[in-house]
Every structure is written in C-alpha cells, then in structure tokens.
C-alpha cells in the first residue's frame, strides 16, 4: 500500500474521492472530497481569514452559504470543543486549497476532516481557490453546488446522480436563502448568569453582583459576544428574534444587544417593525453588531444594499470618524447600510470602511444607541475595538443610575 493510501485510511478518507463545485453559470471545478459526501447548494462566498476557521465554520452568519477559504492551508491547529461560536456548522459547504491531515496544537482534539464528517458538511479541496476567488470578485457572489455525486465523462461532460446536469443547474439557479434569522434563532429565552456558560430557563433572573443585565437578541449570535459581556460584569438574557417591547419590560434589563446573523436584512419585515416599536417605545441603551446594525438602520428609516462580494475576513480597515483612527476589524456580511439614506436628524455615520467607503457604524440621536457593521468581539486587532463594549456598559450604567434615581 502506498503512503498516500495509508494516510487516507488514517484520516478515514476514501483515497482520491472526487468532489466538484458547480457554479450557476455552468463552470465546474474538480477537486478532492473531504468531510461528508452528497450534494449541497448554497451561495458561494469567500473569506480572507488566515486563522479562525473553526469560528468561521460555526458562525450562524454563514447560514445557507458555501464558504471558500482564501488562505491556502486550513486546519493546521486542529479542532477543539472550546472555540465554536455556536453548537453546529451553519454553512452548506466548505472549500479549501489544502487541509492539514496532521494538526499540531496541544488544544487539538480532532482534525478538520473528521469535524466536517461529524457535522455532515461537504468539503472540497485541491482546487485553485485563488482562481475561484478572482471569479467571485469579478462577477460577484453567485449560487453553486458542492457535490461528490458528479461523474466526468470521457468527452468532458458530466453526469449527476441526482438527475441531469440541467436539473442541477436549475436547482442552483432557483436557490435563495429564506427565513435565515428565524432558522438560526432560539425559540425560547435563556439566562446566562455572570461568569457561567450553562444557561437556565430563569430568564427573569439577575445576579446580585452583576453590573448590568443585557437582553441579547439572538439573530444568530456568536458565543464570544456573550463572553465579552460577561467579562464586563454583565448578566445576559438571550432572547428570541421576535421578543417584543412588552417582553423586554418584564425582564428588567439595562441594555439591548442586537446580534449578528445571516441573510438579507430587508427580508425581515416583521422583525424590523418590532425593532421600530422597541426603539421608539423605550430609552434602554442599544448596541447592534453586524445584522443588528443593519436592522437598526432599517427600523430607523434607512436602507441597505447587497455588496458585490461582501466583507468576510479578519483584515478589514475601518475608520472611526470621531477619533480619526483606523482599526483592523473582523467582518462577515454581504449587505451594507447606505449611510446617506439615514436622516441626519436621526443618525450620523460614525465608522467608514477604508477600502470601499461603505458605512461601518452609526451613532443615533436616540439616547445611548450605536451600531457597528464589524465584530468587536472577534478580536481582529486583537483588542482595538473592544472599547465599543466598554462604551455600551458605560451607557447601561448611566441608564441604570437614572432609572434608580
């Protein structure tokens, strides 16, 4: 038996199993299979992060998408049970140039291939990810399918086990991401007491030593948001996407955190109307991140647009207008707020993307309310933008003092 066959067996892989990416325009990329097998359709996007692949895989913001890692080697420090941003992989497929079969890190518990198999996610490797990324940059995000159920004929044509290639292309073309927030959000609220990782259903609870209590709207929240709030002395009540103003008043909270999440923000008509009622019906401090930033803008009369290929990675430069300072930020989004669509009497743009000039943050005239497009909890700087959590906590303390006065 050859060495490559022995390595494949050690990694529970079938040697030389082929996998393919089929794009909506009919382009086919041939590579090797890893992870699960089958066929999955999604929106094909790329992310430029050099590390953080486990966080990327478990980020609910990738719901319904197929992610390309532009960095050529992925999986070199393995997978552990601590760094997940949620309890599952939300993306439909995963594409890398090479994955590391023998990770080296004292925290590693398994390799990337085994993790994808465990989560049922189809992986594709050994393709030219640079060429694929250039295509997405030139033509924009497009639908595609990753599949191990394709067979190449001698004449260069393909057969698909699920039907004809024409039927596969029709399914790819018809694919849309729908009800993304509803599908990733929790259905019942839960309470995370200060410095605990195990939730309880006592959502109205409060820890006596906690500085503040936050209602964290779950639009697909990342666990590091929870950790960032805990590290600043906050209790956290994670609430479903459709939590109302009346529900919030029963929780006796000091602040509202609107989380990240997937999909087209403008699709969420019911959620936007609910947020509009919350934002106009109380003066509780608010911080919105990513999708929370977009939804707040829509609730306050602004507009959003879909970007050609989005911002995904840990190296996006953002200008803080007030402090004339540029920060390196981590981002994962395909839509952006149109800054000039916001009424100046209601809001002003506070942060701008240095690369393309898009809106990255908004400061509202509503008391103690601000939002950012990037992820301050993701530590890209690594801690440059953590001041936003500090500002949020200061706002909550001021609100709490005024409420108790």
User: CATH code at 392?
Assistant: 3.40.50.880
Which of 177, 206, 225 lies at the terminal end of a domain, its last residue?
177
269 is a domain residue: yes
Q: What is the mean pLDDT of residues 303-326?
A: 96
The answer to whether 30 is a known catalytic residue is no
Range of the domain at 164: 12-177
Tell me, yes or no, whether 243 and 379 share the same domain: yes
Tell me, yes or no, whether 96 and 194 share the same domain: no
Q: What is the pLDDT of residue 382?
A: 76
| Strand order across the 303-320 sheet | 190-192, 234-239, 212-217, 255-258, 286-289, 369-372, 359-364, 347-353, 303-320, 325-338
Asked if 310 and 334 touch (Cβ cutoff 8 Å), the reply is yes
Burial call 144-160: b when 16+ CB within 10 Å, e when fewer: bbbbbbbeeeeeeebeb
Q: Running DSSP on this structure, what letter comes out for residue 163? A: B
29 is a domain residue: yes
Instruction: Say whether pLDDT at 9 is over 50.
Output: no
Tell me, yes or no, whether 246 and 391 share the same domain: yes
The model's pLDDT over 16-36, given as tens digits with 9 standing for 90+, comes to 799 999 999 999 999 999 999
Burial call 272-281: b when 16+ CB within 10 Å, e when fewer: bebbbebbee
Whole-Å CA distances, 362 to 14, 293, 322, 333, 365: 50, 8, 11, 16, 10
Helical (H) or strand (E) element with 4:
helix 3-10
214 is a domain residue: yes
5 is a domain residue: no
How sure is the predictor about 3, in pLDDT bands with cuts at 50, 70 and 90? very low
The model's pLDDT over 126-185, given as tens digits with 9 standing for 90+, comes to 999 999 999 999 999 999 999 999 999 999 899 999 889 999 999 999 999 999 999 999
311 is a domain residue: yes
Q: How far apart are CA 378 and CA 349, in angstroms?
A: 22
Tell me, yes or no, whether 342 and 372 share the same domain: yes
Tell me, yes or no, whether 58 and 200 share the same domain: no
Q: What's the pTM?
A: 0.94
Tell me, yes or no, whether 194 and 149 share the same domain: no
Choosing from 293, 333, 351, 375, the catalytic residue is 375
Q: Which residue has the higher pLDDT, 361 or 378?
A: 361
82 is a domain residue: yes
CA dihedral of 135, 137, 139, 142, whole degrees rounded to 10: 80
6 is a domain residue: no
Choosing from 212, 290, 293, 311, the catalytic residue is 290
Which of 129, 150, 177 lies at the terminal end of a domain, its last residue?
177
Q: How far is CA 165 from the centre of its chain?
A: 31
Q: What is the mean pLDDT of residues 371-391?
A: 90
Tell me, yes or no, whether 87 and 186 share the same domain: no
Q: What is the pLDDT of residue 379?
A: 78
The answer to whether 293 is a known catalytic residue is no
Q: How far apart are CA 327 and CA 320, in angstroms?
A: 8
Tell me, yes or no, whether 134 and 212 share the same domain: no
Which of 177, 205, 220 lies at the terminal end of a domain, its last residue?
177
The model's pLDDT over 89-119, given as tens digits with 9 standing for 90+, comes to 999 999 999 999 999 999 999 999 999 999 9
Tell me, yes or no, whether 197 and 111 share the same domain: no
Asked if 235 and 203 touch (Cβ cutoff 8 Å), the reply is no
The model's pLDDT over 317-375, given as tens digits with 9 standing for 90+, comes to 999 999 999 999 999 999 999 999 999 999 999 999 999 999 999 999 999 999 999 99
Q: What is the pLDDT of residue 405?
A: 63
Q: What is the pLDDT of residue 15?
A: 54
Q: How far apart are CA 335 and CA 291, in angstroms?
A: 9
Number of structural domains the chain divides into: 2
Torsion angles phi and psi, residue 395, rounded to 5 = -60, -40
How sure is the predictor about 54, in pLDDT bands with cuts at 50, 70 and 90? very high
Cα distance between the two ends of the chain = 78
The answer to whether 277 is a known catalytic residue is no
Sign of the Cα pseudo-torsion (118, 120, 124, 129, in order) = negative
45 is a domain residue: yes
Tell me, yes or no, whether 62 and 108 share the same domain: yes
How sure is the predictor about 380, in pLDDT bands with cuts at 50, 70 and 90? confident
Tell me, yes or no, whether 152 and 189 share the same domain: no
User: CATH code at 110?
Assistant: 3.50.30.20
Q: How far apart are CA 274 and CA 299, in angstroms?
A: 8
Asked if 340 and 300 touch (Cβ cutoff 8 Å), the reply is no
Tell me, yes or no, whether 300 and 352 share the same domain: yes
Burial call 71-81: b when 16+ CB within 10 Å, e when fewer: beebbbbbbbe
- What is the average pLDDT score of the chain? 94
Q: What is the pLDDT of residue 402?
A: 85
Asked if 291 and 371 touch (Cβ cutoff 8 Å), the reply is no
């Amino acid at each position: 038996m050859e060495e490559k066959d022995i390595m494949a067996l050690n990694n529970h892989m079938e040697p030389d199993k082929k996998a393919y990416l089929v794009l909506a325009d009919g382009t086919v990329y041939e590579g090797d299979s890893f992870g699960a097998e089958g066929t999955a359709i999604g929106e094909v996007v790329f992310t430029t992060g050099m590390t953080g692949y486990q966080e990327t895989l478990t980020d609910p913001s990738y719901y319904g998408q197929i992610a390309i890692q532009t960095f050529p080697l992925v999986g070199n420090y393995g997978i552990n049970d601590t760094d997940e941003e949620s309890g599952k992989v939300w993306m439909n497929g995963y594409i890398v140039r090479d994955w590391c079969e023998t990770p080296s890190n004292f925290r590693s518990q398994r390799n990337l291939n085994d993790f994808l198999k465990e989560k049922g996610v189809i992986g594709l490797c050994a393709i030219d990810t640079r060429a694929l990324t250039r295509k997405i940059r030139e033509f924009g995000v497009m639908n595609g399918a990753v599949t191990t159920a394709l067979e190449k004929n001698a004449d260069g044509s393909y057969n698909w086990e699920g039907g004809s290639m024409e039927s596969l292309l029709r399914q790819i073309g018809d694919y849309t991401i729908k009800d993304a927030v509803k599908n990733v959000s929790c259905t019942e609220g839960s309470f995370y007491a200060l410095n605990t990782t195990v939730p309880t259903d006592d959502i109205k609870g409060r820890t006596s030593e906690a500085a503040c209590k936050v209602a964290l709207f779950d639009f697909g929240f990342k666990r590091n948001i929870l950790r960032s709030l805990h590290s600043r002395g906050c209790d956290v009540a994670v609430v479903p996407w459709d939590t109302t103003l009346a529900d919030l008043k029963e929780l006796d909270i000091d602040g509202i955190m609107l989380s990240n999440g997937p999909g087209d923000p403008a699709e969420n008509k019911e959620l936007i109307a609910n947020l509009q009622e919350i934002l106009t019906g109380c003066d509780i401090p608010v911080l919105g991140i990513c999708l929370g930033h977009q939804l707040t803008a829509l609730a306050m009369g602004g507009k959003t647009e879909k970007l050609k290929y989005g911002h995904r990675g840990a190296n996006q430069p953002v200008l803080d207008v007030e402090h004339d300072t540029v920060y390196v930020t981590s981002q994962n989004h395909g839509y952006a707020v149109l800054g000039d669509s916001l009424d100046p009497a209601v809001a002003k743009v506070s942060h701008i993307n240095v690369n393309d000039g898009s809106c990255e943050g908004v400061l509202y005239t509503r008391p103690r309310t601000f939002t950012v497009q990037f992820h301050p909890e993701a530590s890209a700087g690594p801690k440059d933008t953590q001041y936003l959590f500090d500002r949020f906590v200061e706002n909550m303390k001021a609100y709490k003092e005024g409420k108790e006065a």
